A and B are shown apart, each in its own frame.
Chain A
Amino acid sequence: MKKTILFLGLVITTASLFAQKKTTTSATVSFDASTSIDALPKADNKTVIAAIDPQTGLVQFEANVKNFSFANPMMQEHFNGEKWLNSNEFPKFTFKGNIVEPSSVNFTKDGSYKTEVEGLLAVKGKEKKVKVPGTIVVKNGSLAVSANFSIALADYGITGAPIDGGKVAKQPKITVSADFK
């Protein structure tokens, strides 16, 4: 009887832990807009806030634009400048969406689950609906989320001669990874 109560208690505790919204402040978002002409436009940000709610399937990301780190100082300056991301006026990138098929992920069972997340991505004050394929790995109570996708810069009002001239990719590759303990 005692063992049964103990087991049920463990199951309830585990289930409630998985039901809680998980957050991290050290998710990584990288983007690569390099081309055959210019290898410089790429950067990463390792201090992105991310959240996932296993119960509702809600997924959120929030990044300080200025914390994207470039190897080249000139590129860093251009990226944050008024003509490009205008980070003084629009200091954050945000994403808020949901897992399209919540049943595609069993948060209580270890495994690697392919899934899709759909939601609104806000860049430079413009919001666009995006659907992103990703993977969620469940292991010993931890979650690892990863995704690779592209966005069209023109969708967010980002245009200019370097894009037309092929120095910056029109559709940079975005890589996202987040570990939730």
Chain B
Amino acid sequence: MSKVKRPWLKKLSIAILVLIGIGAGIYFYKVLERHPDTKNEKAVFTVNAIDFIREFEKDDKAANKKYAEKIITVNGIVSEMEAADTTVNIKFIDTASGSYAIFAFQERYVAEAKRVKIGDSVSIKGSCSGGVLSEILGTEFITFKRCTLNN
């Protein structure tokens, strides 16, 4: 009895295996992917701290649309340093309103952030999480994650 040849079946099996391989590759890439080092990221916007805070105070819906989930460089004079667990956060405060922007640092850059002092002029790059009105403080607060100091 002669064996029935089905060349299309072989091609289909190979195509399915290739697709499974590509799918698994994408899945593992996505699962194992980590946020890139912010130091190597290009800022979408570079802003002055007080102007930036006032933009949120004026219209936080528009400002969130413009800045949220983007890498931003913010330049300003440090108003406060606050211990946060084992790390430190840097704050720029608009003294006219009490609204502020606060920066939580990438773990590898916490040591350099701890060397900053109140009154220092600094440039901070980080992922902007947007601004919200605080019911507790009655002011706008704009938060950043994965931050680093620009050299």
In Å, the complex CA distance between A26 and B68 comes to: 20
| In contact, B143 and A64 (Cβ under 8 angstroms) | yes
In Å, the complex CA distance between A76 and B127 comes to: 12
| In contact, A46 and B87 (Cβ under 8 angstroms) | yes
* Chain A residues with CB under 8 A of B145: 45, 47, 67, 69
* Chain B residues with CB under 8 A of A51: 136
Q: Does A100 contact B (CB under 8 A)?
A: no
Q: Does A24 contact B (CB under 8 A)?
A: yes
In Å, the complex CA distance between A41 and B136 comes to: 29
How many residues on A have C-beta within 8 angstroms of the other chain's C-beta atoms?
A: 29
Interchain CB contact (< 8 A) of B85 among A60, A64, A94, A177? A177
Q: Does B146 contact A (CB under 8 A)?
A: yes
In Å, the complex CA distance between A51 and B137 comes to: 9
| In contact, B129 and A24 (Cβ under 8 angstroms) | no
In Å, the complex CA distance between A5 and B135 comes to: 40
Q: Does A42 contact B (CB under 8 A)?
A: no
* B residues in contact (CB < 8 Å) with A: 30-31, 33-35, 68-69, 82-85, 87, 89, 91, 100, 102, 104, 129-130, 132, 134-137, 141, 143-146
